[in-house]
């Protein structure tokens, strides 16, 4: 039987929980219900927390798994149906959920797993500029691996259209030495070349700034990291798009919460619903986006 320990901690302005089990340790912030770090006993971190992270209210931390919702990225780059949902000015990047306080509904043991449930009550009509009624919950399960499930349920009587992502920052030994498998042959949108559609040849390696939307990826993608002798696997559900991002040298220098060489130690693979992979929630309808993060030694 696994044993779990939960301790509350303050990081800068943010309330957090540090959760330890026999296998792993997890740090979660109340703001954004954001996982900040995840590390298995005896291994380097699996999820990356920036050395220069800023723990401030109203600002998503450069770490772990920010929840992008009810739109992904620049709202103007989203389909009209997603843009039309927002009535405010100056839409923040990656939506509204990642920089607001969520409510912890409960932490309970379920067999060998610990189940942590959060809700964003403001999504039911109180988000600035977004006057819709959606019950938004994130369930995090810590066991042998880590599972996240984000569920949106339309409680209103008009349809709601969203894009979203679990914007996961993975820790790697050196991004120049790793490869992503599972993307071979996929079509992708190259956002750095005027959103041109291209086709991936072979696995993805990294030799420059990367910011791509992969279309119709398989359920499982993996990061092979020969130096750390491990393969991280991401098994997604409810998603037909994946974003892969690394800022590389110049973009990293522009980010105040990332060390100039921080790009070497991280890689984002984001389980998503973006581009033409939208989520349309009919009145009473619900939809879940999930990812299971596993790891095996190679």
Where do contacts with ligand TA6 occur on this chain (CB under 6 A)? 60, 73, 93-94, 167, 211, 243, 245, 268, 270
Nearer to ligand TA6, 117 or 247 (CB): 247
Let me know: does 269 contact 140? Beta carbons within 8 Å. Answer: no
Matching residue, tokens 């989520």: 279
Nearer to ligand TA6, 46 or 63 (CB): 63
DSSP state of 31: B
Residue 251, classed as helix, strand or coil, is helix
Nearer to ligand TA6, 119 or 211 (CB): 211
Q: How far is the CB of 243 from ligand TA6 (least distance, A)?
A: 5
Q: What does the buried/exposed string (b/e) look like for 67-93 if buried means 16 or more CB atoms within 10 Å of the residue's CB?
A: bbbbbbbebebbeeebeebbeeeebbe
Distance CA 286, CA 132 (A): 14
From the candidates 144, 167, 190, 254, give the one annotated as an active-site residue.
167
Nearer to ligand TA6, 117 or 211 (CB): 211
Q: How far is the CB of 244 from ligand TA6 (least distance, A)?
A: 8
Specify whether 227 is catalytic: no
Three state DSSP letters for 77-136: HCCHHHHCCCCCCCCCCCECHHHCECEEEEEEEECCEEEEEEECHHHECCECCECCEEEE
Phi, psi of 105 (to 5 degrees): -85, -30
From the candidates 141, 270, 280, 296, give the one annotated as an active-site residue.
270
Nearer to ligand TA6, 85 or 272 (CB): 272
Alpha helical stretches, state H, 156-271: 248-254
Q: How far is the CB of 270 from ligand TA6 (least distance, A)?
A: 6
Let me know: does 135 contact 157? Beta carbons within 8 Å. Answer: no
Q: How far is the CB of 135 from ligand TA6 (least distance, A)?
A: 25
Catalytic residues: 167, 270
């Amino acid at each position: 039987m696994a044993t779990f320990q939960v301790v509350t901690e303050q990081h800068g302005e943010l309330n957090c929980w540090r959760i330890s089990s026999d296998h792993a340790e997890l740090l979660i912030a109340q703001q954004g219900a954001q996982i900040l770090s995840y590390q298995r006993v005896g291994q380097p971190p699996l999820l990356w927390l920036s050395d220069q992270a800023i723990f401030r209210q109203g600002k998503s931390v450069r770490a772990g798994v920010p929840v992008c919702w009810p739109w992904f990225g620049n709202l103007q780059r989203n389909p009209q149906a997603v843009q039309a949902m927002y009535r405010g000015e100056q839409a923040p990047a990656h939506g509204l959920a990642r920089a607001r306080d969520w409510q912890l509904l409960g932490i309970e043991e379920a067999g060998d797993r610990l189940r942590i449930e959060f809700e964003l009550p403001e999504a039911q009509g109180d988000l600035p500029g977004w006057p819709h009624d959606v019950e938004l919950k994130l369930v995090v399960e810590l066991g042998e691996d880590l599972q996240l499930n984000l569920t949106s349920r339309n409680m209103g009587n008009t349809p709601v259209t969203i894009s979203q992502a679990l914007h996961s920052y993975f820790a790697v030994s050196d991004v120049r030495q790793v490869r992503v498998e599972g993307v071979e042959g996929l079509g992708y949108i190259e956002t750095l070349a005027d959103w041109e559609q291209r086709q991936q040849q072979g696995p993805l390696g990294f030799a420059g700034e990367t910011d791509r939307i992969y279309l119709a990826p398989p359920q499982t993608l993996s990061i092979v990291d020969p130096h750390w002798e491990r393969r991280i696997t991401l098994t997604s559900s409810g998603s037909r798009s994946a974003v892969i991002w690394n800022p590389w040298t110049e973009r990293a220098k522009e980010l105040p919460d990332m060390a100039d060489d921080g790009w070497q130690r991280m890689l984002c693979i984001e389980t998503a619903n973006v581009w033409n992979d939208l989520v349309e929630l009919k009145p009473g309808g619900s939809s879940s986006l999930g990812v299971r993060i596993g790891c095996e030694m190679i």
